[in-house]
Amino acid sequence: MDFFREMWVITRKDLRAELRTKEAINASLAFSLVILVLFSFAFDPTEKETVSMSGGLLWIVFAFAGTLVLNRSFAREVPNDCLDALVAAPISGAALFMGKALANFLLVLAVELVSLPVFGIFYNVHWTSHFWSLMLVLALGTWGLTVIGTIFSALTVNIRLRELMAPLLVYPMLIPALMSAMQLSMDLIAGKPLGGENQIWLRLLVAFDVIFTALSLVLLETVLVG
| Closest separation in Å from C-beta 162 to another protein | 8
> Interface with another protein includes 80 (CB under 8 A)?
yes
Cβ atoms 118, 33 nearer than 8 A: yes
> Interface with another protein includes 89 (CB under 8 A)?
yes
Question: With CB under 8 A, what is the number of residues at the site for another protein?
Answer: 53
| Closest separation in Å from C-beta 170 to another protein | 9
- Residue 118 or 173 having the CB closest to another protein: 173
Torsion angle of the four alpha carbons 177, 32, 104, 190, in this order, in degrees rounded to the nearest 10: -40
With CB under 8 A as the contact rule, which of the stretches 34-42, 48-56, 78-86, 124-132 interacts with another protein? 78-86
Applying the rule CB under 8 A, the residues between 172 and 201 that interact with another protein are 172-173, 175-176, 179-180, 183, 197, 200-201
- Residue 15 or 118 having the CB closest to another protein: 15
Burial of 47: CB neighbours in 10 Å, binned 0-12, 13-18, 19+: exposed
Applying the rule CB under 8 A, the residues between 11 and 30 that interact with another protein are 13, 16-18, 20-21
> Interface with another protein includes 126 (CB under 8 A)?
no
Site residues, another protein (CB under 8 A): 1, 6, 9, 13, 16-18, 20-21, 79-82, 84-92, 151, 155-156, 158-161, 165, 168-169, 172-173, 175-176, 179-180, 183, 197, 200-201, 204, 207-208, 211-212, 215, 219, 222-223, 225-226
